[in-house]
Structure 1
Amino acid sequence: MPLSRARIGTVLVGGAMSVTLAALAYPSMLGLQHVSSNGARVIASTPYGPLTEADRNFVVFVRSAGLWEYPSGQLALKKGTTKAVRTAGQHLVIGHAALDASCRKIAPELGITLPNQPTPQQQGFLNKLTSDSGKQFDSDLANILRVTHGSIFSSIAKIRATTENTLVRQLAEQANNVVLDHIRQMEATGLVNFDQVNFQETTPPKLPSPQVTPPVPPAGQPVVVLTPPPGVPTDGIPTGPPVGAPSASPTGG
């Protein structure tokens, strides 16, 4: 069943975010269609280089994406009707567990509060996949995830090219590898409707800020941890270079 524009939409990244380092929160973040003109504004100085609004938004986005794409992968492992769909689910789970570990590692270093829930829009994607079954599930998984990953792909490259923060740069490199792998996995299902996917990516709906903003977790709430479920093979699944590798050193260059 083809996906309508209203059912997919765009994903959160690189939007406006009004926050100070002391607040450790992100009360307002807009979607991809509302990129902040202040994205280059430095909001904190860190041992790893200056941290801009765009940098902070990117770390929050990577975490938020995993909070719905990881469980989507778990659903694919259980409900996928073809080997290709189940394999795609395996890659989603392993890839986002790796990215999540990196986000949780660098967030305290950079003074960033991580969400524990996805955005309302992302939760809507997950709800749709949860209610799906059979071939409808396979089709919706492949197309929704292909749109979301395709929409963010160029934004990852922009962060990698512009950030002066070492840890954010490393996360962008890791995310680039993982997202490209997930794009390939969705296409390998043979279910992607490229005409509709391209339309969704180039003409995303304009959504209000609350729909594309992950809820701020209550103070003191433990950070949700995404880990690969027991028995899910990890061999041969790209997870990208880990953030904070031994070769890395604090620098603003």
Structure 2
Amino acid sequence: MRFSRNATGTLFVGGALSFTLAALAYPSMLGLNTVSSDTSRVIANTQWGPLTEGDRDFVVKVRAAGLWEYPVGLLGEKKGQSQAVITASQHLVDGHSALDTTDRKVAQMLNITIPNLPSPQQQGFVNTLTADTGKQFDTDFANILRITHGSIFNTVAKIRSTTQNTLVRALADQANDTVLDHITVMEKTGLVDFGTVLFQETTPPKLPAVDLTPPPPVAGQPEVVLTPPPNATSTPVNIDGLTGASSGTGTGTGTGAGTGTGTGTGTGTNTGAGTQTTAVNVTPGATPTAG
């Protein structure tokens, strides 16, 4: 595994690539900036419960994580030197495609703008693994992804235990299962340096916000979709069933159409964004291009 130190002696993984996802801020989303450290500040009251700074930030983080881990999974399926690394790569593709489907649905319903590209730091991870060859790829793959998943694991738990928003809670449930699965398969590679992983998780260097922040999507740009593998075993959360959006209240078929229309208009402000969704091919180590 490659290490380097900067002038202050801070240890970096894979050529000055460290992970501080917990510090990620996403300014200008919804026209607001993240204020101080008060993640509990309510920024919107929705029919599914209050939405806080922390809730919104979490939805963006989940999206950004998938935008780099999914391509890395595709990369690992091709470049992995061991079956354990190939299996872990398959878990990344499978898990993040399902998690991203849930995340995009939740973001749409809560009117949260989500990125189409990962942060510069996350893209740096992709670049490092794209350049790696042979055994070095397997080692960097297992350690970088174990560090990143370990770092976000506590964030998922905090959101799950504190959010009052039903949609965010459901997303956190799925994220918890996905992240734990990915931590486990990385450890099963036998390549994780736990001493280094613990250091990186507990002593993250402070990087400029620009390195940690995914760029806002370009207006009119198709939304990137992480396509599930043909043999997918992970499934998105049934958000419509969770919220009763299908209007199946059992009040009688005679009023079903009427109540269905009423519900539709209630969420209609979000369907416009949904119509912009276009499948985009995501290739390892490259900027996503429309398919």
In the other structure, the counterpart of 1:126 is 126
- Deviations 1:168-212 (CA, angstroms, capped at 9, x unpaired): 000000000000000000000000000000010010010010000
Q: Which runs of 4+ in 1 moved over 4 A?
A: 14-20, 247-250
1:12 paired with 2:10, answer no
In the other structure, the counterpart of 1:204 is 204
Tell me how far apart the structure 2 counterparts of residues 14 and 244 of structure 1 sit (CA, whole Å). Answer: 28
What residue ranges of structure 2 are gaps of 5+ in the alignment? 5-10, 246-291
Please list, as runs of the form range in 1=range in 2, the aligned pairs for 1:163-242 lying within 5 A after superposition.
163-230=163-230, 233-235=231-233, 239=234, 242=237
Q: Structure 1 residues 12 and 243 mapped into 2: Cα distance closer, same or farther (>3 Å)?
A: farther
Tell me if the contact between 1:178 and 1:240 (Cα under 8 Å) persists in the aligned partners: no
What residue ranges of structure 1 are gaps of 5+ in the alignment? 30-34
- Deviations 1:200-237 (CA, angstroms, capped at 9, x unpaired): 0010010010000000011221110001244xx334xx
Please list, as runs of the form range in 1=range in 2, the aligned pairs for 1:78-117 lying within 5 A after superposition.
78-117=78-117
Q: Structure 1 residues 138 and 55 mapped into 2: Cα distance closer, same or farther (>3 Å)?
A: same
Tell me if the contact between 2:129 and 2:137 (Cα under 8 Å) persists in the aligned partners: yes
Tell me if the contact between 1:15 and 1:36 (Cα under 8 Å) persists in the aligned partners: no
Percentage identity across paired residues of the two chains: 60
In the other structure, the counterpart of 1:42 is 42
- Deviations 1:26-64 (CA, angstroms, capped at 9, x unpaired): 7x67xxxxx942211111111111111100000000000
Please list, as runs of the form range in 1=range in 2, the aligned pairs for 1:46-65 lying within 5 A after superposition.
46-65=46-65
RMSD: 2.1
> Normalising by structure 1, what TM-score?
0.87
Tell me if the contact between 1:14 and 1:58 (Cα under 8 Å) persists in the aligned partners: no
State the structure with more CA Rg: 2
Tell me how far apart the structure 1 counterparts of residues 187 and 102 of structure 2 sit (CA, whole Å). Answer: 26
- Deviations 1:105-155 (CA, angstroms, capped at 9, x unpaired): 111110101100000000000000001111000000000000000001011
Tell me how far apart the structure 2 counterparts of residues 77 and 16 of structure 1 sit (CA, whole Å). Answer: 31
Tell me how far apart the structure 2 counterparts of residues 159 and 213 of structure 1 sit (CA, whole Å). Answer: 19
- Residue 184 of structure 1 aligns to a residue whose secondary structure is helix
Structure having greater relative contact order (Cα 8 Å, sep ≥ 6): 1
Tell me if the contact between 2:81 and 2:138 (Cα under 8 Å) persists in the aligned partners: yes
Q: Which amino acid aligns with 1:93?
A: V
Tell me if the contact between 2:25 and 2:213 (Cα under 8 Å) persists in the aligned partners: no
In the other structure, the counterpart of 2:254 is none
Q: Structure 1 residues 43 and 229 mapped into 2: Cα distance closer, same or farther (>3 Å)?
A: same
> Normalising by structure 2, what TM-score?
0.76
Tell me how far apart the structure 1 counterparts of residues 24 and 147 of structure 2 sit (CA, whole Å). Answer: 18
- Residue 239 of structure 2 aligns to a residue whose secondary structure is coil
Tell me if the contact between 1:48 and 1:165 (Cα under 8 Å) persists in the aligned partners: yes
Q: Which amino acid aligns with 2:201?
A: E
Tell me if the contact between 2:26 and 2:213 (Cα under 8 Å) persists in the aligned partners: no
- Deviations 1:63-83 (CA, angstroms, capped at 9, x unpaired): 000000000000110000110
